Amino acid sequence: MTDQELRVSKIQRGTVIDHIPGGQALNVLAILGIDGTEGDVVSIGMNVPSDRLGRKDVVKVEGRELSQSELDVLSLIAPDASINIIREFEVRQKHRVDRPERVTGVLECPNHNCITSESEPVETEFEVLDGGIRCVYCDTIIRENIASHIYV
């Protein structure tokens, strides 16, 4: 790790999500449901130069070790993301995100005639396909721009 890469001060404990495609950091936070209202200390680097991706985003969440299932949803918009668990200022674990089989509650079905768009006590649920996701209620398939369907 070079000092040039570390644009914010070191965190003692938390999670660093690295290698996010440039410009997707806010969508990553939206997927994780982190909007700052719960007091999490979050720093974001956007469009940082990267050997691998050209430009990448980096998100650092202090004090929280995000679970694998929370993070797997990120694979939909940041398939190359690496997750670094930081303890005592050091990277203690590093893993990749896996594509989940299902995504519950994070994304909105684009079909306005879908039962999940009504005021029913049901969460959205999508099956993850090779090239997209599919609403398990109305079968609608989303292939492009999945991030635009994140609940806001």
Partner 1 sequence: MNHDHITSARQLSRSDIETVLDRAAEIAADPDSVANSHEGALLGLLFFEPSTRTKMSFSAAIKRLGGDVVDMGPVDSSSVKKGESLADTVRVVEGYADALVLRHPSEGAAKMASEFVDVPLVNAGDGAGQHPTQTLLDLYTIRESAGLEDVTIGIMGDLKYGRTVHSLAHALTNFNVSQHFISPDSLKLPRKVRYDLHQEGSTVKEHTDFDPILPSLDVLYVTRIQRERFPDESEYRKVAGEYQIDADTLASARDDLTVMHPLPRVDEIAYDVDGTDYANYFEQAHNGVSVRMALLDILLGGGQ
Ligand X SMILES: Nc1ncnc2c1ncn2[C@@H]1O[C@H](COP(=O)(O)OP(=O)(O)OP(=O)(O)O)[C@@H](O)[C@H]1O
By the criterion CB under 8 A, which residues form the site for partner 1?
A: 111, 113-122, 129, 134-141
- Which residue lies nearer to partner 1 by CB, 8 or 122? 122
The one of partner 1, Zn ion, ligand X, none whose footprint includes residue 113, by CB under 5 to 8 A per kind, is partner 1
- Closest Cα partner for 20 from 63, 67, 68, 60? 60
Q: Which residues does residue 58 pair with via DSSP β-bridges, in sequence order?
A: 45
| CA torsion through residues 27, 31, 37, 39, sign | negative
Q: For residue 5, state whether it binds ligand X (rule: CB under 6 A).
A: yes
Binding residue for ligand X (CB under 6 A) from 28, 31, 44, 58? 58
Element (H, E) at 88: none
Q: In the window 17-56, what residues touch ligand X (CB under 6 A)?
A: 18
What is the nearest approach in angstroms of ligand X to the Cβ of residue 60? 5
The residue range among 44-52, 82-90, 94-102, 109-117 that interacts with Zn ion, by the rule CB under 5 A, is 109-117
Neighbours of 145 (CB within 10 A): 8
- Side by side, which strands form the sheet with 141-142? 102-104, 125-129, 132-135, 141-142
Residue 81, judged by CB atoms within 10 A of its CB (0-12, 13-18, 19+), counts as buried
Q: Is 60 in the site for ligand X (CB under 6 A)?
A: yes
Report the interface residues with ligand X, using CB under 6 A: 1, 5-6, 10-11, 16, 18, 58, 60, 82, 84, 86, 89, 91, 94
